[in-house]
Amino acid sequence: RLADGKTKSLKGRFLHITDIHPDPFYKSGTSAEEVCHRGKPKDASDTATRFGVAMNGCDSSMDLMNYTLDWVEKNLRDKIDFVVWTGDNIRHDNDRRFPRTESQIFDLNAKVASKFEDMFRNKDSINPRDFDVTVIPSLGNNDVFPHNLFSLGPTLQTRELNSMWSNFIPQEQQRSFDRGTSYFVEVIPGKLAVLSIETLYLYKANPLVDTCDSKKEPGYQLLLWLGYVLEELRSRNMKVWLSGHVPPLPKNYDGNCFHKFTLWTNEYRDIIIGGLYGHMNIDHFIPLDAKKSWKAVEKSS
């Protein structure tokens, strides 16, 4: 029974979906060597098919994205409680004839966000924030312009994001989102939250990220935010999933960012359930060792 008098039944399931990479320039029958945008295919293996060919280097056709989301809506929507969606909602910058522009990136991200809203909102409600299935998006390194480069806000990009995700981000967090683009959603009010972490502030390939040891670093400020939020969730006796695009691995996160982030995930092990990430496109798991990270942080300081 929710605070507004409505009721909602829990299913005990949730969906994690990531790295959709839809490409509006994808054209069936073209050559995979030309990233499925043009050209006559050399043979069958080089041919762009309607739903794509695994491992041929092309992004997702719009049909692949649309049919995937339709399948999810028909087969999973009513069986899940929430959706963790970890970014990269735009094609790669891999075609010199069609360089990506900032407006294309915003437009397609907004369209995909709108699709998720339509799929999971309460269709009987006039409240745009009334979702049958809560959606928690996070930002991918391809969702920003220039590629990988993303600074602390408020900037044009953080405001655009705030605007396109405004129905996903709780209202009281929208100002804080404008600065740090991280937020959390109480997927079961008072009990369970999902944190959407701006991993680009910890990401080595982001030219604006150097370490997490200086107060001017975006990663430092993200970790401050994370610490206060985790402590508050602990004090409220809530449990939490962490989510984001770039997974916390030593080769992905810069300087001490990896070790410090590992420490937070471990020292709040009374409330953190686990971490859900995308970016690598390979289904696997990594056990992070906090003892090693403590040693590394102590040595470096």
Partner 1 sequence: GKSIRANGEEFDDEYESDDVLDGAVEASDARTMGAKPVNKVAYIDGVREAYYEKIASKAGSSFSIERKKKNHNKKHKNRDKSKKQYKGKVDRYSIVNVAGSVIPTFNPSFRVWEYNISGLESDYSVSGMPAQGWQKFFDNLEVQILRDLEDESSLSGLANTLSRNRKVDKTIPPRMPADLPLGPAYVPQLFTPTRFVQYYADLEAIERKYQKEVKKGASEEDAAAKAFAYKVEYTSDDAPYPMKSLLTGDYLDLAVQLANNETFWSKFKERAFLSTGYDD
159 in contact with partner 1 (CB under 8 A): no
Q: Which residues contact 257 (CB under 8 A, 6 or more apart)?
A: 202, 209, 211, 212, 219, 223
Among 29, 40, 42, 50, which residue sits at the site for partner 1 (rule: CB under 8 A)?
Answer: 50
Among 24, 94, 98, 129, which residue sits at the site for partner 1 (rule: CB under 8 A)?
Answer: 94
Contact 138, 87 (CB under 8 A): yes
Please report how close the Cβ of residue 273 comes to partner 1 at its closest, in angstroms: 5
145 in contact with partner 1 (CB under 8 A): no
- For 212-234, b where at least 16 C-beta lie within 10 A, e where not — what string? beeeebbbbbbbebbeebbeebe
Site for partner 1 in 271-300 (CB under 8 A): 271-292, 295-297, 299-300
Give Cα separations from 163 to 61, 125, 166, 187, 222 (angstroms): 26, 21, 5, 21, 21
Which CB sits closer to partner 1, 93 or 130? 93
Report the alpha-carbon distance of residue 241 to residue 192 in Å, rounded: 8
Q: Which residues contact 173 (CB under 8 A, 6 or more apart)?
A: 183, 184
DSSP structure class, residue 187: E
144 in contact with partner 1 (CB under 8 A): no
Contact 261, 247 (CB under 8 A): no
Please report how close the Cβ of residue 265 comes to partner 1 at its closest, in angstroms: 4
**The one segment of 14-22, 99-107, 120-128, 159-167 that binds partner 1 by CB under 8 A:** 14-22
Evaluate the CA torsion angle 106, 109, 113, 114 in order and state its sign.
Answer: positive
Site for partner 1 in 103-142 (CB under 8 A): 141-142
* Token pair belonging to 150: 């993303």
Which CB sits closer to partner 1, 34 or 160? 34
62 in contact with partner 1 (CB under 8 A): no
Residue 183: phi, psi to the nearest 5?
A: -165, 175
Site for partner 1 in 175-234 (CB under 8 A): 175-176, 186, 188-192, 205, 211-213, 215-216, 220-221, 223-225, 227-230, 232
Which CB sits closer to partner 1, 92 or 155? 92
Please report how close the Cβ of residue 61 comes to partner 1 at its closest, in angstroms: 9
Among 64, 164, 194, 202, which residue sits at the site for partner 1 (rule: CB under 8 A)?
Answer: 64
**CA terminus-to-terminus distance, the chain:** 49
Number of residues interacting with partner 1: please give it, by CB under 8 A.
Answer: 123
Site for partner 1 in 243-272 (CB under 8 A): 247-252, 254-256, 260, 262-272
Please report how close the Cβ of residue 124 comes to partner 1 at its closest, in angstroms: 20
152 in contact with partner 1 (CB under 8 A): no
